[in-house]
Amino acid sequence: MNKKTPNVREKRNTPQHGARYVAAHGVRDVLCNDTPLDLAISNQALFAQLERRDRAFARLIAATVFRRLGQIDKVLEPFLKKTPPDLAMAVLRCGAAQILFLQTPPYAAVNGSVALLRRSKKTAHMAGMANAVLRRVGEQGAELLAQTQTLDNIPDWLRTSWQGAYGDAALSAMADMLVQDPPLDITTKPGVPGQNVMVLPDGLVLPGGTVRMDKAGDVQALAGYDDGNWWVQDISAALPVRILSDLVGDLKGKSVLDMCAAPGGKTLQLAAAGADVTALDKNPERLERLQENLDRTGLTANIVVGDGIKWRQPDEADPDRVNQGFVNKGFDCVILDAPCTATGTFRRRPDVLQTKTAQNVDSLARLQEKLLTAAARHVRPGGTLIYCTCSLQPREGEAQIEKFLQKRTDFRHNSLLETNSVKPIRAISAITETSKNGALRILPHFIHEKGGMDGFFIAAFTRC
C-alpha cells in the first residue's frame, strides 16, 4: 500500500507543520542566534507552505512574544521550577502569548503547544511540563498579568539608558508604544495623479505628506504598488530628505551621495525629487532590493557597491588624476543614515530590544564616527551633510555630533526645528523638549494618537 503524500493543507493542520511551529522556532532563533525576527520566520522552509492566514498568525504570535516578553516571563515564572531548554521555553512563551494576549482559547493553545513538543524526540519529555504550565496560565494568568506593567518588556540596560536620557514619563510612554501593533507608512511618488489620499483612499495623511494605513496587510496587494506609485517608509525615515529639501531648496539636478543607502527609501525620495543620486552600500544583496524598487517606481540612481569608509569617487581614486592636481569638488549633499542598534524601530521590530546590547552600542559608535568622517570628505564647500540614525541611544546621536564638530570646525550646525517639515510635528509632540543644539531627537511615542513614529536622530551641517 502506497504511503499517501501529505498535501499543504494536511501539513497546515498538523501542529508540527503549522503557524505555532514556525512561531516557536522563529522565537528560539532570534533569542539564540540574534537572527532578525522577519528572517527567523520567513527563512523556514515550512513558512512558504503555509497559507497566507497561517503565515500572518505565525508572525503575530512571534511578534507578540517580543512585544510582551517581560510580562510573559513574569507570568510563567511561578510555574517553572527551572528554565526549560530553548525550544521548550519558546513554545511556552508562544503558548502564553496566545492565551494572555491573542484571545486564543486556552485549550487550543495548550493542546497545540503540547503536540508541538511531542513531535520531536528531543522535546517530547517536556510535553507534560508544558501541559501543566500552560493550563495554569489559562487559569491564573490574567491575575498574574495584572501585576505586571509594560515597562517589564524593556530590557534593564535600555530602561536605565532611556530613563537617564529622556525621563520617566517618556520611558513609560515608549513602553506603551512597544505593545501596540504599528500602522503602515508609505511615501508617494511626486506627480502621481490625485496625490496622497487618492493613491490609497483608506490612508491618513500625516504631517509632511506620509500616508498611514491602519493595518499593514499584504503590501504588494495595495492599490498603486504594481504601478510604482509609492514605497514603504516610516514617517521618521522620510524626514531627512524632506529636511534636506527645506534647507537647500529644489533638489532637481543636485548631486547627492546617499551613504549606507540600502534598503533605499531615501534614494527613492531623492530620485523622485530629480536629484542626481549615487546610492552607496557595502551589501550587494540589499542593493539588489533597492534596484528592484527603482525599477518598480520608474526611478533611476547610480548604485555603487562599496565600503563607505574606504570609497572614493572614481576620479579621486585614480592615482594619475591625483598626480595631475585633481581636486575633488564633492557632492552638493551627502546623507549618512548610519548603521546603528536600531532601537528606535521597536514598534515595527520588537525583537531588536532583545538582540542588541550595550557592547553593540560601543562597536557601532566607533563605526559611525569613521563613516561620518568619511561622509564629510565628500561634501563640497557650501554643501550640506545630513547625519541620522534610527537609534535611541545618545552615543549614536548627540555624542557623535559633538565629537564631529570638535574635529571639523569647517562645518556649521543647522537648526532643524524651524524647517517646514518639522513644524507640523513640533506642533503635536514634545520634540522641542528632546531636541538640542539644532538637531532632532524623535521618540517613538511622538504623535502617539496617530500611531507613533520610529525613534530617530537627525542632524544637518553646512560646509563652510
Asked if 405 and 413 touch (Cβ cutoff 8 Å), the reply is yes
**Number of Cβ within a 10 Å radius of residue 293:** 18
Q: Which residue has the cell 542632524?
A: 459
Asked if 332 and 248 touch (Cβ cutoff 8 Å), the reply is yes
Q: Which residue has the cell 552607496?
A: 280
Centroid of chain to Cα 363: 19
Asked if 370 and 307 touch (Cβ cutoff 8 Å), the reply is no
Backbone angles phi, psi at 387, to 5 degrees: -115, 130
What gap in Å lies between CA 229 and CA 460, rounded to an integer?
29
The CA-atom distances, in angstroms, between 249 and each of 31, 207, 460 are 46, 19, 14
Tell me the β-bridge partners of 269: none
Pick from 98, 34, 14: which is nearest to 62 by CA?
98
Centroid of chain to Cα 340: 11
Asked if 304 and 312 touch (Cβ cutoff 8 Å), the reply is no
Pick from 214, 154, 193, 194: which is nearest to 346 by CA?
154
What gap in Å lies between CA 109 and CA 139, rounded to an integer?
13
Asked if 62 and 56 touch (Cβ cutoff 8 Å), the reply is no
Pick from 289, 400, 388: which is nearest to 344 by CA?
388
Among all residues, which ones are annotated catalytic? 390
Cell digits for 262?
540600502
